Amino acid sequence: MTSTLFIVSLILAAVMITIHPALCIPFVIAAYLLAGKGNMHMDSNASIILGIIGFILLLVLFVIVNDALK
């Protein structure tokens, strides 16, 4: 259940970052707290943070490319 909430919070962060980057901060914090609470089998908190930031940067890149192609 925790992993499902983790994925949902990342998806909501991705949706909110398309509106305004500041709106994704609560969802990123929630994803970080869920990853720390759950049994995600990651090496450290740094890898969790890098994963979340990498996911959001990938979505930002997708939005930039999508806007450039219009």
- Region 39-60 average pLDDT: 72
User: Is pTM, for the whole model, over 0.85?
Assistant: no
How many DSSP H helices and E strands does the chain contain? 3, 0
Residue 28 pLDDT greater than 60, yes or no: yes
What residue ranges do the domains of the chain occupy? 2-69
Looking at residue 52, its pLDDT comes to 77
What is the rounded CA–CA span in Å between residue 44 and residue 63? 29
